[in-house]
Amino acid sequence: RILAELRESLERQTATADILRAIAMTPAEPSDALDKICQSAVRLFGASSVGIRRVEGNVLRAIASAGAELTIINEALPELPLDRSLLVGYAVLERRQICKDDLANSVGDEELARTRSPSGPLGRHVGARSAAMTPLMREGDALGAMVVFRDEVRPFTEEELALMRA
């Protein structure tokens, strides 16, 4: 058990170091750094895809991604409406993380019931089953969101969700 915890801790530290190295190495090209952050997040969270969207007026613009399916979707849908009809918009507007263990099963789930579809256009096209939408905050304002998809039903741990918020 201790060895497993040590291994997990080392993986988190390595991913964090990768993220910091990406930021330090590409100050002139923020999109490269953000793509590397998404790639590290795929490994760190065992995700099928990770994307980052930025608030631009009343839309969420795709600015980085990792995972083939989400990269293709972001090219096809570079803008999503910034409203409560999609989980990512809901997370940004509410300024809080939203995590769904099983997007296909929304029974009794008030947040999913308010959106247009259980997983929205992104999740549906990437075959997502579990998802976490984390607003990217600065001084109390949501500047965008990181979207983490898993293609299997596998709930995110509290530790993983805390790491996404950090």
Taking residue 31's Cβ as centre, other Cβ atoms within 10 Å add up to: 11
- Is 14's pLDDT higher than 70? yes
Q: What is the Cα–Cα distance from 72 to 119, expressed in whole angstroms?
A: 17
Task: Please report which residue ranges of 46-144 form alpha helices under DSSP H.
Answer: 68-76, 87-94, 110-114, 120-126
**Residue 118, pLDDT score:** 38
Of how many residues is the chain composed?
A: 166
**Residue 146, pLDDT score:** 94
**Residue 119, pLDDT score:** 47
Contact present, 52 and 38 (Cβ < 8 Å) = yes
3-class state of residue 145 by DSSP: strand
- Is 4's pLDDT higher than 50? yes
Q: Who's near 150: CB < 8 A, 6+ residues apart?
A: 45, 46, 47, 48, 128, 129, 130, 131
Instruction: For residues 151-164, give the mean pLDDT.
Output: 91
Q: Who's near 144: CB < 8 A, 6+ residues apart?
A: 52, 53, 54, 55, 60, 63, 92, 135, 136
Q: pLDDT: is 131 or 30 the higher one?
A: 131
Instruction: For residues 152-162, give the mean pLDDT.
Output: 92
Contact present, 81 and 61 (Cβ < 8 Å) = no
- State pLDDT tens for residues 87-143: 899 999 999 999 999 887 765 566 665 665 434 555 555 577 899 999 999 899 999
Q: Who's near 159: CB < 8 A, 6+ residues apart?
A: none
What pTM was computed for the model? Answer: 0.78
**Residue 108, pLDDT score:** 56
- State pLDDT tens for residues 40-97: 899 889 999 999 999 999 999 999 999 877 777 777 788 989 998 888 999 999 999 9
Q: Comparing C-alpha atoms, which of 146, 50, 53, 135 is closest to residue 94?
A: 135
